[in-house]
Amino acid sequence: MTTENSETETPLPETAATADASPSADEHESEARLPMTGIRVLDLGTFLAGPHAASVLGEFGAEVLKIEHPIAGDPMRRFGTPTKRHDATLAWLSEARNRKSVTLDLRQAEGVQLFLKLVAKSDVLIENFRPGTMEEWGLGWEVLSEANPRLIFLRVSGYGQTGPYRRRSGFAHIAHAFGGLSYLAGFPGETPVVPGTVPLGDYFSSLYGAIGIMLALRQREKTGRGQIIDVGIYESVFRQLDEIAASYGLFGKVREREGSGSFVAVPHGHFRTQDDKWIAIACTTDKMFERLAEAMERPELASSALYGQQRKRLAARNEVNQIVIEWVGSLPRSEVLERCLRCEVPVGKLNSIADIFEDEHFQARGNLVTLEEPGLGEVVIPGVVPRLSLTPGRIHNLGPALGDATYEIMRELLDISPDDIKRLRQRKII
């Protein structure tokens, strides 16, 4: 299967990563050597839950075809900050990276037939409709696996494919709540806030899905058969909550909101500096607290008579936090950081995105990748994660225009005649 340079009709002009430290240099040379080269992924999902799996596989060499409705396209194109490109928000540009867009109306019988032909030539299919939707279109697992017994099918939905709530609509925001994360974000007894970013659960569920795909690909090499990976967004959120289940199960302990702190360690939280900025300190172990006491020039605080043991610090949580609040509040942020870092205390700035853009470490690691997008100029997006030493991933294009590869795929992959393609276009099937 080819993955590159076969642009025909309405190609997007070549884009290239320009950040010098980005792992995407020499993309064409290394193309044949990436781990996912030769794998074709059909991304039938919308928004992010599921599609992010395709993004990571695409960064590592898979060919990703984004299958979209011919008129509407993925609603992600309209979600987020609009750009001068009428079919692309910034979120779409970043998160639909490395894809080719192919339009196909699955509500029409002929669209379904074409789709099955694509399935026959693909390795992985990703979808995130409400459970039952694919079946309504005549695209249940039996049909799909008959079209391609080797197919690996990732299904992501709010609640998974089974269980009493499977038909409910779910987004990460709901899944954070249902999975137990939102309840924990905020001050005790006060308003629960959004935990970090709204789509966190979309990323989690996609990544679990991608792991499932890799496992299934491996198994397929032994057996020749594909399988289904069923991921509920809520369960990928719940899986992150360390021992919350075990401690409720054994001790009946209901974890409550922790404000800016943590139930396991003190001091472990966010502190305001004299210049009204914020830092995080994480004294997970006694040794870390000893270093903090040293940075504060009050080594006696870490003595066994005072707060040397985590147990004692947890018992005297308010007193210990108050001491740290006062110390941090008496110094400007740069000074607190310098003193902490000198003593190797785990400390960090609470970075806003403006701070991140100025940060030398983000720059040195190439975490901000700049791509040139015609008509828009430079677009800066997060670089590839994870970072592989021998086969780094790469970003060769931002979110594509709607249907930019429809002709190419119909003509070259499915061998449909130009006349038929024209007819399919007129009938808005593609």
Partner 1 sequence: MTTSVTQEDLPLTGIRVVDVATVIAAPYCAGILGEFGADVLKVEHPMGGDICRKYGTPTQRGDTLAWLSEARNKKSVTIDLHRREGVEVFKKLIEKADVLCENFRPGTLEKWGLPWETLHEINPGLIMLRVTGYGQTGPYKDRPGFARIAHAVGGIAYLSGMPKGTPVTPGSTTLGDYLTGIYGCLGVLMALRYREQTGLGQYIDAALYESVFRCTDELAPAYAMFGQVRERHGPTHNDFACPYGHFPTKEEGKWVAIACATDKLFERLAEAMGRPELASSSLYGDQKTRLENRHDVNEIVRDWCGSLTRDELLKRCYATGAPAGPLNNIADIFGDRQFHARRNLVSVDVPDLGETVIVPGVIPRLSETPGRIKHLGPKLGEHTDAVLQELLGLNSDEIAELHKKRVI
Report, as residue numbers or ranges, the catalytic residues.
Answer: 202
Site for partner 1 in 136-175 (CB under 8 A): 159-160, 162-165, 168-171, 173-175
x/- contact string, 404-423, with partner 1 (CB under 8 A)? --------------------
In the complex with partner 1, the residue whose CB is nearer, 29 or 361, is 361
Using alpha carbons, list the distances in angstroms from residue 406 to 100, 107, 112, 147, 289: 8, 17, 15, 21, 59
Among 5, 388, 422, 428, binds partner 1 (CB under 8 A): 388
Site for partner 1 in 169-228 (CB under 8 A): 169-171, 173-187, 189, 191-200, 203-204, 207-212, 214-219, 221, 223, 225, 227-228
Site for partner 1 in 253-282 (CB under 8 A): 253-262, 264, 268-270, 272, 278-282
x/- contact string, 3-32, with partner 1 (CB under 8 A)? ------------------------------
Q: Minimum CB separation from partner 1 for residue 60, in Å? A: 5
In the complex with partner 1, the residue whose CB is nearer, 398 or 430, is 398
d(CA 279, CA 352): 11
Using alpha carbons, list the distances in angstroms from residue 290 to 103, 181, 280, 308, 346: 60, 31, 17, 7, 11
Pick from 253, 238, 160: nearest CA to 195: 238
Secondary structure E strands in 238-318 = 268-272, 278-282
Q: Minimum CB separation from partner 1 for residue 300, in Å? A: 23
Among 27, 43, 230, 404, binds partner 1 (CB under 8 A): 230
Among 28, 344, 412, 422, binds partner 1 (CB under 8 A): 344
x/- contact string, 365-384, with partner 1 (CB under 8 A)? x-xx-x-----xxxxxxx--
Q: With beta carbons less than 8 A apart as the criterion, state whether 148 and 175 touch.
A: no
Q: Minimum CB separation from partner 1 for residue 424, in Å? A: 27
In the complex with partner 1, the residue whose CB is nearer, 1 or 385, is 385
In the complex with partner 1, the residue whose CB is nearer, 238 or 307, is 238
Q: Minimum CB separation from partner 1 for residue 44, in Å? A: 18
In the complex with partner 1, the residue whose CB is nearer, 108 or 161, is 161
Token digits for 237? 């959120």
DSSP one-letter string for 205-243: HHHHHHHHHHHHHHHHHHHS---EEEEEHHHHHHTTSTT
Among 20, 304, 318, 389, binds partner 1 (CB under 8 A): 389
Q: Which amino acid is at 354?
A: A
Q: Minimum CB separation from partner 1 for residue 430, in Å? A: 24
d(CA 297, CA 371): 47
Positive/negative CA dihedral, 73, 78, 83, 86: positive
DSSP one-letter string for 93-122: HHHTTTEEEEE--TTSHHHHHHHHHHHHT-
Q: Minimum CB separation from partner 1 for residue 176, in Å? A: 7
**Number of residues this chain uses to bind partner 1 (CB under 8 A):** 155
Among 86, 248, 326, 329, binds partner 1 (CB under 8 A): 248
Pick from 402, 424, 416, 413: nearest CA to 110: 424
Angle at 290 between CA 344 and CA 271, to 5 degrees: 70
DSSP, res 32: G
Site for partner 1 in 291-310 (CB under 8 A): none
Q: Under the criterion CB under 8 A, does residue 129 sit at the interface with partner 1?
A: no
Q: With beta carbons less than 8 A apart as the criterion, state whether 212 and 229 touch.
A: yes
Q: Minimum CB separation from partner 1 for residue 178, in Å? A: 4
Strand, coil or helix: what is 373?
strand
Contacts of 365 (CB under 8 A, 6+ apart): 21, 383
In the complex with partner 1, the residue whose CB is nearer, 222 or 426, is 222
Among 15, 147, 247, 308, binds partner 1 (CB under 8 A): 247
In the complex with partner 1, the residue whose CB is nearer, 249 or 418, is 249
Q: Minimum CB separation from partner 1 for residue 99, in Å? A: 16
In the complex with partner 1, the residue whose CB is nearer, 308 or 346, is 346
Pick from 49, 48, 44, 85: nearest CA to 66: 44
